[in-house]
Amino acid sequence: MHLNSFLEYLSLEKKYSTHTCLAYSKDIESFSQYYSNHNDGCDFDIADYSHIRRWIVFLSDSDLSNRTINRKVSSLKSYYSFLCKINILDISPLISHKSLKVGKKVIIPFTVEEIFKATDDIGESDFVELRDKCIFEMLYATGMRRSELINIKLSDLNNLSVKVLGKGNKERVIPLLEDFVKLLDKYIVSRADFVGNKSLEVQWLFLTNKANKTYSIFVYRIINSYLGRVSTKLKKSPHMLRHSFATHLLERGADLNSIKELLGHSSLASTQVYTHSRLDKLKQVYNQSHPRGRKKTKL
């Protein structure tokens, strides 16, 4: 098995994050365990498509969604492509595989009113309130990912912009709104008082209540808490602020290419998902605006 070499390839050459490499590893090990159990402990490098197909049926019988199964198979397909790349295999057993059909996933964004209500409810009286408000506003004002926010350093701020490190270790600079910069300046002053004489040692922009670097579930709890006060929507995560950011820009006339650059997407196809949730509104505008769609008025 050449799994370790594959993971090194993903990390060093493809520049994938530790989290992404771990996800690939788990998916591939899932098949490795299944194959070993059904083939007397043989190395799954020599598996053929019939073995993989039986694994897919097993996953389906385990009530996994088609989307999850496709992700696992995609990880395995990347592994076999790597084995072909380093001349371990002549051809991948998944070369002709077709993904299982999945329904379109419609994500309902938060309304502008819900976003504004949530931020209005966050005070500015102390470090914790200012931090929470800035985290919320930073995610919505920029559309950045949670992981990008967590890794922002003070040195990444530059007047009316912030530099973030996105997927594949790609840097991008995102503009900041003037009103948000005023709030951020107020937080930075409060942050300096909170950190005290350790200010030179602590470079992360956003800190926990113990002056440590924030982490994924910490940011999630903040966003979930404030959105929970203004909305009954089931999903109240930082990603929903990213989704709302893109949707609201699109509704107000921003072009997809600009949104793509702001979000840090590598292809326009990733950005186009945000157009689906607004289809009903577009239909309504279309029917009201198109001459054929207007109701005839009686004279």
Task: Give tens-digit pLDDT for 14-29.
Answer: 888 888 999 999 999 9
Which member of 153, 172, 239, 278 is catalytic? 239
> Residue 41: pLDDT band by 50, 70, 90 thresholds?
confident
Which fold is adopted by the domain 112-283? Answer: hpI Integrase; Chain A (1.10.443)
In the residue annotation, 49 being an active-site residue is answered as no
Which member of 72, 242, 243, 248 is catalytic? 242
Which member of 51, 72, 145, 236 is catalytic? 145
Q: In DSSP terms, which residues pair with 107 in a beta bridge? A: none
Which fold is adopted by the domain 3-85? Answer: DNA polymerase; domain 1 (1.10.150)
Q: How far is CA 12 from CA 5, 7, 169, in A?
A: 10, 8, 11
Higher pLDDT, 299 or 64: 64
So what's the pLDDT on residue 295? 54
So what's the pLDDT on residue 299? 42
> Residue 298: pLDDT band by 50, 70, 90 thresholds?
very low
| Rounded average pLDDT over 209-228 | 95
Domain boundaries, the chain: 3-85, 112-283
| Percentage of residues of the chain with pLDDT beyond 70 | 90
| Rounded average pLDDT over 66-77 | 95
> Which of 4, 6, 158 minimizes the C-alpha distance to 82?
6
Residue 220 contacts residue 237 (beta carbons within 8 Å):
yes
In the residue annotation, 252 being an active-site residue is answered as no
In the residue annotation, 167 being an active-site residue is answered as yes
Which member of 167, 172, 235, 278 is catalytic? 167
Mean pLDDT of the chain: 89
In the residue annotation, 274 being an active-site residue is answered as yes
Which member of 131, 191, 260, 265 is catalytic? 265
| Residue 177 amino acid letter | L
